Amino acid sequence: MVSRSPYIIRLTALMLLAAMPARAEVLKDAFNSPMWEMLSERYFGQAAVIFDDRVKVSVPPIVENQAQVPITADARMLDGVKKLIVFADLNPIQLALELEPIKAKAFVAFRMKIEQATPVRAAALTEDGVWHVGGVFLNAAGGGCTAPPKDNGGVSWFDTLGETQGRLWQEKDGSVRARFRISHPMDTGLGRDNTPAYYIEKVEAKEPAGATLARLAMHEPVSQNPTLTLVVDLPRQDQGLDIDSRDNNGTIYRANLAAPWRQSHDDQREGSLNAP
């Protein structure tokens, strides 16, 4: 057996430490959130992080329903966004949603469950490997994450599960705004009745030919019957937008939203949702 002196062992350890990448310094948080340092390490790792006013998060000034809080994350002022995530620091499950804007804008609007007053943040990863973080403080009462889903209008969930309704609008820049709602209870698994977590975990917006325009990973904090708004680059000659989703039980749901330039007035009126 070859013996090694304590000096050699210490020298080897120091060399290994020197070779390791230095952990990025955690930025001082304007909200003084007790969770910021941990969440920064969890979501951004060793990557560079900056607070950036070009990443906008919009929330209502008054929250009337903690289980259905409208959230808008908009990073369209940045170029080359590869990923956009939304999280609430003081929720029991912080990460709500992740967007990959493959052929889409770095924009998403949805509704979220909130457990208590908390910073709500959006972080955009750009092609240079930098995370750009924006956020607001949401003043809300508690209970949104632990409350059970509301009754489905007297209809069994099994009869409506995965049903998707929505509409498309042509934007001035040629892109298409898609707003759609998927019927699903979106159980967090945190309720007192011990109902297990049951939620839609993946949504893809696709061209009818199959190309993915935007990909969403959703998590338990997204509200019951998730209502989502995306802005995608949909070719005008396409028949519409396909919405494929999958829940954490592996069930797959598929729907098509007809293109506005091919919808009749009656189709628009019958299938429309109120504009966000």
- The CA-CA-CA angle for residues 233, 234, 239, to 5°, reads 175
Who has greater pLDDT, 242 or 174? 242
Three-state DSSP at 85 gives strand
pLDDT of residue 138: 96
Given pLDDT bands bounded at 50, 70 and 90, which one contains residue 274? Answer: very low
pLDDT (tens digit per residue) in 215-251: 999 999 999 999 999 999 988 777 899 999 999 999 9
Closest CA to 78 of 22, 16, 127: 127
Given pLDDT bands bounded at 50, 70 and 90, which one contains residue 146? Answer: low
Given pLDDT bands bounded at 50, 70 and 90, which one contains residue 268? Answer: very low
* CA torsion through residues 111, 113, 117, 120, sign: negative
Mean pLDDT of the region 53-60? 97
Given pLDDT bands bounded at 50, 70 and 90, which one contains residue 153? Answer: low
pLDDT (tens digit per residue) in 17-38: 344 344 456 789 999 999 999 9
pLDDT of residue 7: 43
pLDDT (tens digit per residue) in 103-137: 999 999 999 999 999 999 999 999 999 999 999 99
Given a cut of 50, whether residue 71 has pLDDT beyond it is yes
Q: DSSP state, 104?
A: B
Given a cut of 50, whether residue 198 has pLDDT beyond it is yes
Given a cut of 80, whether residue 88 has pLDDT beyond it is yes
> Domains of the chain, with CATH numbers?
23-271 (2.60.40.2470)
Is residue 168 within 8 A of residue 239, CB to CB? The reply is no
pLDDT of residue 259: 85
Two structure tokens written together for 92: 């029991």
pLDDT of residue 36: 97
